[in-house]
Amino acid sequence: MKKNNIWFCSDPHYGHKNLCLGETTWADKFGCRNFQTVLEMNDAIVNEINSKVGVDDILYLLGDFSFGGISNIFEFRKKLNVSTIYLVLGNHDEHIQKNKVFEGQTTQELFSSINNLLEITIEKQKIVLCHFPLEEWNFMDNGSWHLHGHCHGNLPETEFKRIDVGFDANDFKIWSFDDVKEKMLNKINKKHIKNL
């Protein structure tokens, strides 16, 4: 697979009111997103994706697609311009995992594929995709990378070739393949300098 027009993100949590600072009912507001309304948050998610990911691009979305019921899954998907989304299931994607039906269409029909874990190769670089961060993954000792979500930027940075590509871990931005490559090369260089 070629690198051009390949994007990664995780944990959009479209429609998740408790992640929205202005609407949350959580006592502890740490980790809430700085939006006054869930509509404002939803628009920011859609705009970030649509402003970068073209119709013919590829988006790997690593779980926790949406909240607020099955209708929000369809609403969110219809707002995204990209045709090809490979979904890796997160712990909040039960409606998609169960392939629920809404207005005659199943949730799984909205995506190009649905997996719990996905291994891909871009420009000879092996990448293991999972919603959850892994300590060990396939071909780890042979240079493969691991992209995940789930932690919302709260997992400490390591020298592992592992990146949290969630919205909350990257200033609410999605990652291009080149972004991932640059981050991985920085990790490798820092580790090399440290070992000198």
pLDDT tens profile 176-192: 999 999 999 988 776 54
* pLDDT given for residue 130 in this prediction: 98
* pLDDT given for residue 118 in this prediction: 98
pLDDT band at 3 (very low <50, low <70, confident <90, very high): low
pLDDT greater than 50 at residue 196 = no
pLDDT greater than 60 at residue 101 = yes
pLDDT band at 194 (very low <50, low <70, confident <90, very high): low
Q: What average pLDDT score do residues 115-131 get?
A: 97
pLDDT band at 42 (very low <50, low <70, confident <90, very high): very high
* pLDDT given for residue 172 in this prediction: 95
* pLDDT given for residue 192 in this prediction: 44
Burial per residue of 106-121, b for 16 or more beta-carbon CB atoms within 10 angstroms, e otherwise: ebeebbeebeeebeee
CATH topology of domain 6-194: Purple Acid Phosphatase; chain A, domain 2 (3.60.21)
Indicate if the alpha-carbon torsion angle 96, 64, 89, 93 is positive or negative. negative
pLDDT greater than 60 at residue 2 = no
pLDDT greater than 80 at residue 88 = yes
Parse the chain into domains and list their residue ranges.
6-194
Read off the pTM.
0.94
Q: What average pLDDT score do residues 5-21 get?
A: 97
* pLDDT given for residue 168 in this prediction: 97
pLDDT band at 111 (very low <50, low <70, confident <90, very high): very high
pLDDT tens profile 151-173: 999 998 887 899 999 999 999 99
